[in-house]
Structure 1
C-alpha cells in the first residue's frame, strides 16, 4: 500500500489483536496467515508477501493524518486490500514491481477489495474506489510525463 501519511507509530498489543480479529473476519478461514512480527516496528508496512503467501502486518495498517483516500483507509479496509492481493495471486495474477505498472496493479487490487460487501461499510468501499482513482491518476501522470504530452490514438 502507499504509505502516504498513514500511521507510522508501532502498533501496541491491543491494536495487533484487533487486526487479528479483523483478519479472521475477512479471511473466514482461507488459511492465509497474518504475520505480526513487524507490527511493533516504526513505519513498518503492511503487505502481501507472495513468497510466503502471507500478509505481513505493519504499523501502516491503521490510518494516519493525511487527507488522501489511502491515508484514510480504515484498518479493516487496509487488510481487505492485502487480502485482495492474496486472492489475485491465487487466481494467477503476478504483480509488477516497477512503476508505473505497479500503480495499475494497486488500483485493480483496491477495486477488487471494494467488492467485500459483507465485511466493509459503504464508506470503506468508497475509500477503496477513491484510492484506485488516485493510483490511476498517478499512473496517467507518469505515462504522460514519459511521452511528454497527452496520449493520442
Structure 2
C-alpha cells in the first residue's frame, strides 16, 4: 500500500447535504457497527459537521461525513470509514480513554477503528492512510518550538 503524505494540508470534506437515502444507509451502517440508534444524530444540512457531543454522549453526523474535493487521505475518506472513525470516538469517550483533541487523537482513533470486523480491507486502508497523515501532522506540530507537547521519542 502506498500512502501519500501531504504535509499540513487541511482536508476538504464535503459540504453537500446528506440525502434521505444516505441517511438510511448511515443509520444501517451505524447499527451494523454496533451503535445504538439513540446515540446518533444526523444533521442533513449543507456544511454540517461530524462531532462527538460529550455533554449528551452522542455522535452528530454532518455533511462532512462524505469525501470532498481534496486529495489528502482525510479528504478522500469515504463515509463508511468516517462513520467507523466517529463511532470509535464514542467508544473511547464511553471508556474514559479520551485524548486531547488533535492529530494524535485522530490517528489513534483511525487505527482503533480498523479493528471493527465489519470493515472491508479498502476501508481499513483508508483509515490507515488517514492515520499516517495525522501522525505526520502530530510529528510536525510536536517538533515546533512553541509546542506544548514534548517529543520524547528516541
TM-score by length of 2: 0.82
Listed as ranges, the matches of 1:2-151 within 5 Å are: 4-27=11-34, 30=36, 33-36=39-42, 38-40=43-45, 42-97=46-101, 102-116=102-116, 118-146=117-145
CA distance in structure 2 between the partners assigned to 1:152 and 1:113 by the alignment? 25
CA distance in structure 2 between the partners assigned to 1:147 and 1:51 by the alignment? 31
Distance 1:32 1:48, change over 3 A: farther
CA distance in structure 2 between the partners assigned to 1:106 and 1:123 by the alignment? 19
CA distance in structure 2 between the partners assigned to 1:3 and 1:14 by the alignment? 29
* Structure 2: gaps (5+ residues): 1-8
* Structure 1: gaps (5+ residues): none
CA distance in structure 2 between the partners assigned to 1:33 and 1:114 by the alignment? 21
Shift of 1:152: 8.3
Runs of 4+ in structure 1 over 6 Å off: none
Distance 1:57 1:146, change over 3 A: same
Shift of 1:109: 0.4
TM-score by length of 1: 0.83
Cα-Cα RMSD: 2.4
CA distance in structure 1 between the partners assigned to 2:30 and 2:153 by the alignment? 44
CA distance in structure 2 between the partners assigned to 1:96 and 1:26 by the alignment? 25
Deviations along 1:42-67, one digit per CA (max 9) or x if unpaired, are: 22111221211111010011112221
Equivalent pairs counted in the alignment come to 143
Deviations along 1:92-119, one digit per CA (max 9) or x if unpaired, are: 113314xxxx211111100010111x21
